[in-house]
Amino acid sequence: MRWCAILLPAMLYAAVAAAEVPVPSPPRGDGAQCVEPTEVMRRDHMKFLMHQRDETMHRGIRTTKHSLVECLSCHTRKDDEGRFVSINAPGEFCQECHAYSGVTMDCFGCHATTPRQPTSRSAQSLGRLLSDTSFRLHIQP
Amino acid sequence: MSVLSVIYALIFYAATLIMVAGLAVKIWQYARTPAPLKIPTTPAPTTAAGVGARMFREVVFFESLFKGSKWSWLFGWLFHFGLLVVLVRHLRYFTEPLWWISALVQDIGVYMGFAMLLGLAGLLVRRSVVDRLRYISAPSDYLMLGLLIAIGGSGLLMKYVTRTDIVAVKAFFLGLMRFDWQPLPTDAMLLIHLTLVAALMIIFPFSKLLHAPGLFFSPTRNQADDPREHRHVAPWAAKLDATRAPGN
Amino acid sequence: MPATKRGTQINENRRRWLGGAGAAATVLTLAPGVRLLDLALARSEEEPVSERVRWGMLVDSTKCAQGCTDCVDACSDEHGLTGMGRPQTDAQYIRKLDLKDKTTGKAYSLPLMCQHCETPPCVDVCPTGASFRRADGIVLVDKHICIGCRYCMMACPYKARSFVHEDLTSQVPETPRGKGTVESCNFCVHRVDRDREPACVEACAQAGHNALVFGDLNDADGALARKLEELPSRQIREDLGLNTGVRYHGV
Amino acid sequence: MEHDTAMTSVRYQTLDGQSVGYWALLALLALLVAVGYAAAHYMEVQGHHVTGMTNQIVWGTPHVFAVFLIVAASGILNVASLSSVFGKYDYKPLARLSALLSMSLLVGGLIVLVLDLGRPDRLIVAMTYYNFKSIFAWNIFLYIGFLLVVAVYLWMMFEPRMNRYSKPAGFTAFIWRFVLTTGTGSIFGFLVARQAYDAAIMAPLFIIMSLSFGTAIFLLVLLASFDWSGRPVGDDILRRLKNLLGIFVAAVLYMTMVYHLTNLYATEHHAVERFLLVDGGVYTLVFWLLQILAGGVVPLVLLFAPQFGQSRASLVTAAVLVIVGGLAQIYVIIIGAQAFPLMMFPGMEVSSTFYDGVVNEYAPSVPEILLGLGGIALSLLVAVVAMRVLPFLPERAGKPTPVSAAEPTPAEAAG
């Protein structure tokens, strides 16, 4: 009798709760392969970003393998009007998993959330465009 | 689905069942245990509302422990408060979408993890250094402290050293709750952490950790000091009472 | 991808782009003589900045046109500094100063920005080390560890720093900047690391003033050292002995 | 209830804490704390443009309150030091209260300081990244260390078995608080950039300010907590505290004078001195009217002129004025000094879009003031709760005052 009292609600719960498990599905990046295996990136992407951040900030090393700008260039999507969507917008690459796991990102208070929007550039800033990594990637065939 | 995932799924079903059922049995037992006399520790409140307030202070601030031993109170409260916040933080693995309270404590929760360990360390030192405490300490007392320290330690190690795929961990637990099993990442530290937690859940209904529900059934705390205002009749005594002649 | 191969690729892209757009003006500023470092000194991407180089600048006030704000505009554009219409709290990395000698009445015009001191007071006072001086002399704020205490702003004799007073959304990829942190002129470090000049210098040259000369103070044969040899120059608040990286001529 | 091992046995008791007045006070303070926190939250969410601060005046009203509280925290420990370090055992019954207030004021001040940071969420960064050349970084250690040292000191005083160590603990706390206030003063003393700072005298000036503000606050808290809980305060102890306060107020005036005179010696500083003392508008007014007159001269008259003698009302008024004057003094030091333009080009008129060469404007905003008041309320709230939980207050302070001699004539006071 006692056990029924416990098992009955459990079985009822099972009947109600049995459903698809929500799992985040971040959009795929542009390239064929990320700079590290996916299994590694899922665990340690922040370690790479932190390392790269200190190398770049303090030692002026601007290699692109683990740079946030490079992440953006692969993982930002464009909307119907051809403009980039912020990578931390709901459903976009970064936000999808971070919202799921309750992790707040402290990157995008400061860092740009899209590559340079090509349409917003004036002719004056051609020089800057030329050196812009993300721009370079997007004009590649 | 790996064998490991299946094993852990079964372990957690078993652990949950044992903990819930065990607690239910214990609470049922506590609730039926007679309290034939009014024995609140005085000074005690004389009204039900007063008892509620006293119980609140007892549960939230550990009032009687504070009056009894300042050091145990300090470390004990530090541990319990830390544990509370850490548990709320861990709700993120079981709720989708995230509950606001869990989102709120995400940042502070990490530091509370350290506070929890500090409190446990204090309690352990106290138990092993103070003579009269060491004398009354049984192996199970150390086991509980050790288990909690190992759980906290492995959790923090996962946060700072060997990380795991927490998105997959969440999917695993949501899967358990929805009977739609998902694979569990096979990181050693995660498996250690989860094994210890399952062990704690299984031990819980057989251990001194029962003070958590037990506190609410403690007659020295949950009774109003009103024997002059109301005659106290325990439920089992009421039957006897009814057979007695009125006016007697 | 190996650095050399990647480098070639960039150049190919640049060439392709320039060919299409015909933007000759930008190429002019990269003409011979303006190149920042000799090939011998240029570092590869993996190599950290070193003390062999000390970046500096000479401001020739005699060539700086009163009322011209090309350097300021270029800076705003380069770093994505969009004003909020609140001049007291809007960030300025570089500003134009109008000076008038009280005795002679002679007027001067010059740009003022972070002076990239050799011994910067902002670096001394910063509690977390967010304010730091790179090996090559560029003074920066590591906004990752800046807590926004503003002690550096109290300590800077040039009022070169700004505090970000509000949420921003208009950042450019090269200059991350955000609410609650302090920022200042960084000599366009992202450009310097890619062997290019700061935006203000480029703009000044484009406008034909050539009042700003950027270069390596340690390179005796470099453009900056030669210019410093040729023109008398001074440091602002020389009395503090900060050995600034920015020098001024004609004031 | 505990017994002291001192020659005269002192009995300490917790506040009863059942009265309506107690709960009303608690509710008021809690409300102020909540409002202060809401103000800080508002400033953080909106960004600092909703405050009075700008890129020209970067430290504003919250810093005035925070520095005031931190400085006073160090000075308020003086009462405890008098008994532990200087052997004035008449103060011994008040040592616990003194130590408690020094901790609670420091906590209140630090919270205000932290909540006014651009990134208060990064407090942990301030604890994990250190630049050991920074006086701010030293101060983080000094503040945390002070809290620990005073906590140990309190433990020694509370725990009968530990009483014999309370003297060395008190001595450590005594030294520590001098170093702490030296550190606070040096934040300004080593700033070469600004005309009004860069003066070594800032450290001793801050130390003497701490003693003055701390004693004033202690007097008010002492009288309030004892009166409201029906504990008698003897005139003898008040007379001692009154004389101490008077000496400290006079010393602050003297050190302020020395600060300005040394500045005036160097001709290059005449402009900033002229600004502060003569034509600085609101800062000149605050300096002369609030800092010097209300916060210095009037309290001295109230404390020492025979007409006011031993009246508790005049003592309370003097202490309140010292606190007002103290806030005014720090306002002038922090904000007045920033209002004066940086001197980069001597002999030149300077103008720019970045407010070079002009006196900078600053007006305290409501959220800033609420945050500051919230800090004061938090300090008091901590103290009021602590007094109820642990026996901080003795049953009486000083020797019993004969009823007939509650208001002795000046002649009696002198005798």
**CB neighbours of A70 closer than 8 A, spacing ≥ 6?**
A35, A64, A133
Residues of A whose CB is below 8 A from B102: 102
Q: Which two tokens stand for residue D256?
A: 């302020």
Query: Neighbouring chains of D at 3+ CB pairs within 8 Å?
Result: B, C
D151 assigned to some structural domain: yes
The nearest CA of chain B is from the CA of A137 a distance in Å of 30
State mean pLDDT over D215-229.
Answer: 96
Contact yes or no for A104 and B182 at CB 8 A:
no
Q: Residue B79 is part of a domain; what is its CATH number? A: 1.20.950.20
User: Are A and B close enough to touch, i.e. 3+ CB pairs under 8 angstroms?
Assistant: yes
C121 CB near a chain D CB, below 8 Å? yes
Residues of B whose CB is below 8 A from A15: none
Report the residue of A128, A133, A136 to disrupt the C interface, i.e. the one with the largest count of C CBs within 10 Å. A128
D121 CB near a chain B CB, below 8 Å? yes
Range of the structural domain that residue B55 is part of:
3-27+42-224
pLDDT score recorded for residue A47 = 93
The nearest CA of chain B is from the CA of A81 a distance in Å of 30
Question: How far is residue C71's CA from residue D236's CA, in Å, rounded to a whole number?
Answer: 71
pLDDT score recorded for residue A6 = 54
pLDDT digits (tens, 9 = 90+) for A48-57: 999 999 999 9
Query: What percent of chain D has a predicted confidence (pLDDT) above 90?
Result: 83
C8 CB near a chain D CB, below 8 Å? no
State mean pLDDT over D195-211.
Answer: 93
Contact yes or no for A18 and B179 at CB 8 A:
yes
In contact, D112 and D327? CB cutoff 8 Å: no
D405 assigned to some structural domain: no
Contact yes or no for C190 and A59 at CB 8 A:
no
Size of interface C-D (CB pairs under 8 A): 164
B96 assigned to some structural domain: yes
Query: Domain total for chain B?
Result: 1
Question: How far is residue B204's CA from residue B199's CA, in Å, rounded to a whole number?
Answer: 8
The answer to whether the complex's ipTM is over 0.90 is no
B160 CB near a chain A CB, below 8 Å? no
Contact yes or no for A127 and C26 at CB 8 A:
yes
pLDDT score recorded for residue C1 = 38
B244 assigned to some structural domain: no
C179 CB near a chain A CB, below 8 Å? yes
pLDDT digits (tens, 9 = 90+) for B111-150: 999 999 999 999 999 999 999 999 999 999 999 999 999 9
Q: Which two tokens stand for residue A35?
A: 């700079």
Question: How far is residue D36's CA from residue B137's CA, in Å, rounded to a whole number?
Answer: 47
The nearest CA of chain A is from the CA of B47 a distance in Å of 34
Contact yes or no for B107 and D389 at CB 8 A:
no
Q: Which two tokens stand for residue C64?
A: 């700086």
Query: Domain total for chain D?
Result: 1
Q: Which of B55-64, B214-223, D306-315 has the lowest mean pLDDT?
A: D306-315
D residues 51..110 contacting C (CB < 8 A): 53-56, 58-59
The owner of tokens 């203000």 is C200
A16 CB near a chain B CB, below 8 Å? no
C residues 180..219 contacting D (CB < 8 A): 180-182
Nearest CB to D354: which of C128, C151, C159?
Answer: C159
pLDDT score recorded for residue B34 = 83
State mean pLDDT over A13-38.
Answer: 81
Residues of C whose CB is below 8 A from D132: none
Contact yes or no for C77 and A125 at CB 8 A:
yes
User: Are C and A close enough to touch, i.e. 3+ CB pairs under 8 angstroms?
Assistant: yes
Size of interface B-D (CB pairs under 8 A): 3
In contact, D15 and D388? CB cutoff 8 Å: yes
B166 assigned to some structural domain: yes
Residue C114 burial (C-beta neighbours within 10 Å; 0-12, 13-18, 19+): buried
Question: How far is residue A91's CA from residue C95's CA, in Å, rounded to a whole number?
Answer: 41
Residues of C whose CB is below 8 A from D56: 88, 159
pLDDT score recorded for residue C2 = 41
B194 assigned to some structural domain: yes
Closest by Cα among C105, C90, C85, C110 to C200 = C110
Query: Neighbouring chains of B at 3+ CB pairs within 8 Å?
Result: A, D
Residues of B whose CB is below 8 A from D121: 107
Residues of B whose CB is below 8 A from A19: 178, 180
State mean pLDDT over B64-87.
Answer: 95
State mean pLDDT over B42-55.
Answer: 93
Nearest CB to C173: which of A59, A125, A134?
Answer: A134
**CB neighbours of D376 closer than 8 A, spacing ≥ 6?**
D32, D65, D69, D108
Nearest CB to D118: which of C86, C87, C148?
Answer: C148
Nearest CB to B92: which of A3, A5, A102?
Answer: A102
Q: How many CB atoms lie within 10 A of CB A9?
A: 11
The nearest CA of chain C is from the CA of D309 a distance in Å of 45
pLDDT score recorded for residue C4 = 41
Query: Neighbouring chains of A at 3+ CB pairs within 8 Å?
Result: B, C
**What's the whole-number average pLDDT of chain A?**
78
In contact, D177 and D209? CB cutoff 8 Å: no
Q: Which two tokens stand for residue B220?
A: 């020295």
The nearest CA of chain A is from the CA of B38 a distance in Å of 30
Q: Which two tokens stand for residue A17?
A: 């709760």
Question: How far is residue B79's CA from residue B118's CA, in Å, rounded to a whole number?
Answer: 7
pLDDT score recorded for residue A18 = 59
Contact yes or no for C172 and A112 at CB 8 A:
yes
B32 assigned to some structural domain: no
In contact, C192 and C198? CB cutoff 8 Å: yes
D7 assigned to some structural domain: no
User: What domains sit in chain C, N to C, each tagged with a CATH number?
Assistant: 32-249 (3.30.70.20)
The nearest CA of chain C is from the CA of D385 a distance in Å of 31
Please say if the pLDDT value at position D369 is more than 70.
yes
pLDDT digits (tens, 9 = 90+) for A88-126: 999 999 999 999 999 999 999 999 999 876 644 343 344
Position with higher pLDDT, D328 vs B246: D328
Q: Which two tokens stand for residue D44?
A: 């953080």
D409 assigned to some structural domain: no
D222 assigned to some structural domain: yes
Range of the structural domain that residue D37 is part of:
12-399
The nearest CA of chain C is from the CA of A95 a distance in Å of 17
Contact yes or no for B66 and D124 at CB 8 A:
no
Query: What percent of chain A has a predicted confidence (pLDDT) above 70?
Result: 69
The nearest CA of chain D is from the CA of C14 a distance in Å of 37
pLDDT digits (tens, 9 = 90+) for D393-409: 999 888 876 554 444 44
Contact yes or no for A21 and B98 at CB 8 A:
no
Q: Which of A114-118, B210-214, C86-90, D325-329 has the lowest mean pLDDT?
A: A114-118
DSSP string for B2-51:
-HHHHHHHHHHHHHHHHHHHHHHHHHHHHHHS---S--PPSS--SSHHHH
Residues of D whose CB is below 8 A from B66: 389
pLDDT score recorded for residue A13 = 64
- Nearest Cα residue in chain D from B61: D389
B232 assigned to some structural domain: no
A101 CB near a chain B CB, below 8 Å? yes
The owner of tokens 């991350």 is C176
Per-residue pLDDT band for D268 (boundaries 50, 70, 90) equals confident
Residues of D whose CB is below 8 A from C97: 345, 350-352, 356
Domain residue spans in chain A?
A: 36-66, 77-115+125-141
Q: Residue D347 is part of a domain; what is its CATH number? A: 1.20.1630.10
In contact, C126 and C153? CB cutoff 8 Å: no
- Nearest Cα residue in chain C from D360: C88
D130 assigned to some structural domain: yes
Q: For chain C, 251 residues long, give each residue's pLDDT as a single digit of tens.
A: 344 444 334 443 433 333 333 333 343 344 444 455 554 456 788 889 999 999 999 999 999 999 999 999 999 999 999 888 999 999 999 999 999 999 999 999 999 999 999 999 999 999 999 999 999 999 999 999 999 999 999 999 999 999 999 999 889 999 999 999 999 999 999 999 998 999 999 999 999 999 999 999 999 999 999 999 999 999 999 999 999 999 999 98
Nearest CB to A6: which of B21, B96, B168?
Answer: B21
Q: Which of A23-32, D181-190, D270-279 has the lowest mean pLDDT?
A: A23-32
C196 CB near a chain A CB, below 8 Å? yes
Contact yes or no for B178 and A19 at CB 8 A:
yes
